[in-house]
Amino acid sequence: MAHRKSPARIAKDARIAQFRSRETLSTAQGAEKAVPWEAIAELEARLVGRVLLPSGPSYNEDRQESNPACQSYPELIVYCVCESDALECLAVARRYRLWVAVRSGGHSTAGYSVNSGMVVDVSEMSGVVLDPPNQRVHVLPGTDFDHFNGAMNHTGWHVPTSACGSVCVGALCKAAGTATPRAHSAHRAIWWTPSVWRWPTAPSSPPARRSTPTSTGPCAAARAATLAWCCR
C-alpha cells in the first residue's frame, strides 16, 4: 500500500511550495524582504504548526486582538503547537532581528501581543495535567481558563484566575508574574511558578520565585531560559 500523507501534511507541503515559488518570483523582480522567502519556507518545513503571512486569506482576522483600537500588521504570525516550534521561531527571529510578540489569548488591552515583526501564537499549545503526588498542576500556555477551571473542578484546590474564560494561562502569568492567592481556610492556595502551578499543604507565604524554571515538568523547553515565556 502506498504511503498516504495526512491532510495536514499535504497542506504544509503546499505552503512550503508556495513560499519557495515566491522566492523565485522575488528574485526575478529584484524585490527584497526582511525575512527571505526561502527562510520562511524552511521555517514552515521545520514546524509542526504553521506560518501565516500577510498574503494569507485569514491574515486580517488573525492579526486582530480583542481591542480593535490596536492595529498592528505583523510580518509573520506563527502558530506553535509544541515547544520545539517556539524554539524554531526564536532562531529565525534572532537571525533576522525580528521584534517578537507572544500571544496566547489575544486579550492584551494595550495591544502588546501583536506587533509589526513576528507574532508567536501559542494558543494551540493547551492542556492540563494534575499531579497530586508531587503537588503540581502542569499547564500549557494556550490553555484558557474555561478549560483550566473545568480540569480543577472537584479538587478543592484554589487558584486565582481570570474572570474571563477565554483568557489563557500564558497571558495572565506573563502579565501578573507570581499570582497572589486569595487565602481561604477551606482551600489550599496554589502558587504560580514558571513551569507549573504548585500548592502548599497549608496557607503560608509564597515560595521565592525562581529565575529559571524547573526541568521536571512536561515542558522540555522550560530548560532554556530564553523560552521561559513560552512555558508560562
- In this predicted structure, what is the pLDDT of residue 169? 84
pTM of the model: 0.74
- In this predicted structure, what is the pLDDT of residue 41? 96
Q: What residue ranges of the chain have pLDDT lower than 50?
A: 176-232
- In this predicted structure, what is the pLDDT of residue 117? 93
pLDDT tens sequence across 79-88: 999 999 999 9
Distance CA 78, CA 133 (A): 36
pLDDT tens sequence across 153-195: 888 777 777 678 888 888 776 654 444 333 332 333 344 443 4
**Rounded (10°) CA dihedral 220, 126, 180, 136:** -50
- In this predicted structure, what is the pLDDT of residue 32? 63
The secondary structure of residue 221, as a DSSP letter, is G
- In this predicted structure, what is the pLDDT of residue 63? 93
- In this predicted structure, what is the pLDDT of residue 189? 39
Across all residues in the chain, what is the average pLDDT? 75
Helix (H, G, I), strand (E, B) or coil at 43: helix
Task: Centre a 10 Å sphere on the Cβ of residue 201 and count the other Cβ atoms it contains.
Answer: 7
